[in-house]
C-alpha cells in the first residue's frame, strides 16, 4: 500500500498534534528493526513529516534479506524471490534503484532427482508433480473454519500426494507438515517470480541505505503505560508517542523484548498460534569445475536414508552451490558448527556427483536462521486452526503499539513484500491517528 495524497498532505495537522505532546517525548514514532518492514515504515514516516527513529540490533540493515559477497559472487543467504512480482512493491523499487531483476523461480534451470545418491530416471512419470496437483485439489476444501495440517489433509491419500505435502511443507514453509495450517498457506498470493542477480539483500540495502538507522542497538523493554512509549535499549532510553515493532516473530515469542504492561490476551494468543519455520541455506564454494550441471539447475535429494534437500548449482554463473534445507533437518544442521555443517553438505553432494566435488571444494558460508539470535527462524507460519492469528496482530494495541512484518501480512505473509506493506501501513495508521488528534 502506497502513501496517499491525503497522507502526504497531513503535515499541518501532525504539527498541531505535536503541540499537545509532552516535551519529554522525542519522536512521533520509534521503529524497532531495520528489515524490510522497518525500512518501509521509515520511508513512510519521512514522507509524512514525522519525527522518527529507527533502531536495529544487527550491525547492518536488511534483516532476513542479506547478500553475501565473500566468495566473489552475490549469494542471498535469506530471501531470494520477488514473489507475485506483478503486484510486489519491490519490482518497482528495483526499477527505481536501477537494479536488474529477471523472471525466474524455483528450479528455473531445470532439475535432476536423486535418492540416496542414485539418479532417478528422468523419463519416468513425475509422481511428484502428479501428487502436487492432487494435493491442491484436496486443499480447496479447507478454510479458516475447517482447518487442518498438511499431514491430516493427506493422511488417506496416495503415497505421492503425502510426499508432495511433505516436500512442499519442508521446502516452502521450512516446517514439518503436521505443524502447518493448510488454510493459512493456501490463502497466500500467487503469481510469477523474479530474481535479483545482484542479490535481494543488495536491493533492500540500497533502498534503505540513506535512512537514519541506529545499528547495534537492541530493544530490551517497551513500556507503553501512559500517553506514550518508553523504549529501553542497549544504548539508552528512547521516548516516543508510538512504536512500530518489526522484529521477527521468533524474537517476540522468545520474549527478548519485555512489555509493560503485558500485551493483551488476544495478542498473546495470536503469538501462540504462529511459529517460525527453519528454511536455511549453506553456500559451498568451488574452483575449476561445473560437476556436469548447468547454471541454476537444482540437484534434488529426495528423502531416503537422509531427509530431502536441494542443491542449487552455480546460480547466475557463480562458482557456488547453494544448499537449501528446512524443517527439523535444518534445525539439526544449524546447531552444528559451520565447518561441520559444510562437511555434511559436501558429503551429500559428493554422494550424488562424485569425488570431483571434494577436490574442487574451497569453502562455505551458512545462514542458519533458526539459530540466528535476531530472527530465531526463517519466516512465520500458522499452526493448524490458527489461520486468523496474523490478522489479530494487525490491530494496534492501545493506539501506541503497532506490529509489522511478514508475520502479520495476511495474503502476503512469508514474503519481503508483505513486510514492506505492513511497515508502510502501520505508519499510515499512525499518521491518520495524529491527524485526528490535531
- CATH number of the domain where residue 356 is located: 3.90.660.10
Is there a domain that residue 97 lies in? no
pLDDT attached to residue 236: 97
Return the C-alpha cell found at 75: 549469494
Do 244 and 361 fall within a single domain?
no
The DSSP secondary structure of 4-37, one letter per residue, reads PHHHHTTHHHHHHHHTTS-TT--EEEEEE--SHH
Is there a domain that residue 290 lies in? yes
pLDDT attached to residue 125: 66
The CATH number of whichever domain residue 388 belongs to comes to 3.50.50.60
Is there a domain that residue 202 lies in? no
Instruction: Specify the number of domains making up the chain.
Output: 2
Is there a domain that residue 206 lies in? no
Do 179 and 231 fall within a single domain?
no
Do 358 and 284 fall within a single domain?
yes
Do 117 and 228 fall within a single domain?
no
Name the residue among 283, 438, 292 with its Cα closest to residue 368.
283
Do 187 and 298 fall within a single domain?
yes
Among residues 308, 335, 367, the one where a domain terminates is 367
Do 296 and 227 fall within a single domain?
no
Do 260 and 328 fall within a single domain?
no
Name the residue among 126, 157, 122 with its Cα closest to residue 139.
157
What span, in angstroms and rounded, lies between the C-alpha atoms of 313 and 413? 28
pLDDT attached to residue 106: 76
Do 268 and 284 fall within a single domain?
no
The DSSP secondary structure of 333-400, one letter per residue, reads HHHS-HHHHHHHHHHHHHHHH-THHHHHEEEEEEE-GGG-TTTSSSSEEEPTT-TTHHHHTTS-BTTT
pLDDT attached to residue 46: 98
pLDDT attached to residue 95: 98
What span, in angstroms and rounded, lies between the C-alpha atoms of 129 and 133? 6
Name the residue among 382, 381, 361, 378 with its Cα closest to residue 369.
378
Please answer whether residues 366 and 334 qualify as being in contact, where contact means their C-beta atoms are separated by less than 8 angstroms: yes
pLDDT attached to residue 11: 40
Please answer whether residues 372 and 395 qualify as being in contact, where contact means their C-beta atoms are separated by less than 8 angstroms: no
How many other C-beta atoms are found inside a 10 Å radius of the C-beta of residue 216?
12
Cis ω for the linkage preceding 261 (within 30 of 0): yes
Host domain of residue 298? 105-191+279-367
Q: What is the CA radius of gyration of the chain?
A: 23
Name the residue among 287, 437, 279, 309 with its Cα closest to residue 363.
287
Do 165 and 112 fall within a single domain?
yes
Is there a domain that residue 308 lies in? yes
What span, in angstroms and rounded, lies between the C-alpha atoms of 145 and 313? 42
Q: Using the Cα atoms of residue 282, residue 288, residue 292 and residue 293 in order, give the sign of their dihedral.
A: positive
Per-residue pLDDT tens, the chain, 438 aa: give them: 332 222 333 343 333 334 333 447 899 999 999 999 999 999 999 999 999 999 999 999 999 999 999 999 999 999 999 999 999 999 999 999 999 999 998 778 899 999 999 999 888 766 777 899 999 999 999 999 999 999 999 999 999 999 999 999 999 999 999 999 999 999 999 999 999 999 999 999 999 999 999 999 999 999 999 889 999 999 999 999 999 999 999 999 999 999 999 999 999 999 999 999 999 999 999 998 999 999 999 999 999 999 999 999 999 999 999 999 999 999 999 999 999 999 999 999 999 999 999 999 999 999 999 999 999 999 999 999 999 999 999 999 999 999 999 999 999 999 999 999 999 999 999 999 998 886
Is there a domain that residue 77 lies in? no
Whole-model pTM: value is: 0.93
Q: Is 107 left (phi over 0), alpha (psi -120 to 50) or beta?
A: left
Is there a domain that residue 374 lies in? no
Do 315 and 241 fall within a single domain?
no
List 223's β-bridge partners, or say none: 230, 260
Do 269 and 289 fall within a single domain?
no
Among residues 367, 390, 417, the one where a domain terminates is 367
Among residues 308, 333, 367, the one where a domain terminates is 367
On the 0-12 / 13-18 / 19+ scale of CB atoms within 10 A, 282 is buried
Do 179 and 307 fall within a single domain?
yes
Is there a domain that residue 86 lies in? no
Return the C-alpha cell found at 248: 521477527
Amino acid at each position: 500500500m502506497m502513501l496517499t495524497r491525503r497522507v502526504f498532505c497531513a503535515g499541518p495537522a501532525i504539527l498541531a498534534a505535536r503541540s499537545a505532546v509532552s516535551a519529554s517525548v522525542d519522536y512521533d514514532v520509534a521503529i524497532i528493526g531495520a528489515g524490510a518492514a522497518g525500512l518501509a515504515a521509515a520511508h513512510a514516516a519521512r514522507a509524512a513529516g514525522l519525527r522518527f527513529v529507527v533502531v536495529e540490533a544487527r550491525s547492518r540493515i536488511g534483516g532476513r534479506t542479506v547478500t553475501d559477497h565473500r566468495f566473489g559472487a552475490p549469494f542471498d543467504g535469506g530471501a531470494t524471490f520477488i514473489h507475485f512480482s506483478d503486484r510486489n512493491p519491490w519490482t518497482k523499487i528495483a526499477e527505481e534503484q536501477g537494479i536488474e531483476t529477471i523472471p525466474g523461480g524455483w528450479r528455473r534451470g531445470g532439475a535432476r532427482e536423486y535418492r540416496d545418491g542414485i539418479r532417478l530416471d528422468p523419463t519416468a512419470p513425475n509422481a511428484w508433480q502428479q501428487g502436487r496437483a492432487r494435493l491442491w485439489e484436496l486443499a480447496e476444501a479447507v478454510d479458516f473454519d475447517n482447518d487442518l495440517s498438511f499431514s491430516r489433509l493427506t493422511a488417506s491419500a496416495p503415497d505421492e500426494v503425502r510426499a508432495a505435502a511433505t516436500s512442499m511443507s519442508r521446502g516452502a514453509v521450512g516446517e514439518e507438515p503436521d505443524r502447518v495450517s493448510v488454510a493459512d498457506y493456501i490463502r497466500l498470493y500467487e503469481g510469477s517470480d523474479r530474481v535479483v542477480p545482484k542479490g535481494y539483500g543488495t536491493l533492500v540495502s540500497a533502498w534503505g541505505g540513506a535512512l537514519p538507522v541506529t545499528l547495534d542497538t537492541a530493544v530490551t523493554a517497551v513500556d507503553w503505560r501512559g500517553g506514550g512509549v518508553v523504549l529501553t535499549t542497549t544504548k539508552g532510553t528512547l521516548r516516543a508517542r508510538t512504536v512500530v515493532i518489526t522484529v521477527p516473530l521468533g524474537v517476540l515469542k522468545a520474549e527478548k523484548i519485555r512489555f509493560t504492561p503485558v500485551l493483551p490476551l488476544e495478542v498473546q494468543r495470536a503469538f501462540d498460534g504462529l511459529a517460525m519455520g527453519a528454511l536455511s541455506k549453506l553456500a559451498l564454494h568451488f574452483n575449476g569445475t561445473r560437476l556436469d550441471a548447468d547454471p541454476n539447475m537444482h540437484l534434488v535429494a529426495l528423502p531416503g536414508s537422509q531427509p530431502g534437500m536441494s542443491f542449487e548449482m552455480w546460480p547466475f554463473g557463480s562458482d557456488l552451490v547453494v544448499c537449501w534445507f528446512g524443517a527439523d533437518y535444518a534445525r539439526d544442521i544449524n546447531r552444528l558448527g559451520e565447518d561441520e555443517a559444510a562437511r555434511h553438505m559436501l558429503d551429500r553432494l559428493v554422494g550424488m556427483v562424485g569425488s570431483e566435488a571434494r577436490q574442487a571444494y574451497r569453502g562455505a558460508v551458512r545462514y542458519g536462521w533458526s539459530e540466528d539470535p535476531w530472527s530465531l527462524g526463517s519466516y512465520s507460519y500458522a499452526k493448524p486452526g490458527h489461520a486468523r492469528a496474523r490478522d489479530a496482530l494487525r490491530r494496534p494495541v492501545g493506539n501506541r503499539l503497532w506490529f509489522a512484518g511478514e508475520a502479520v501480512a495476511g495474503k502476503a505473509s512469508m514474503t519481503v513484500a508483505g513486510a514492506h506493506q505492513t511497515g508502510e501501513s502501520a505508519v499510515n495508521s499512525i499518521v491518520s491517528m495524529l491527524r485526528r488528534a490535531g
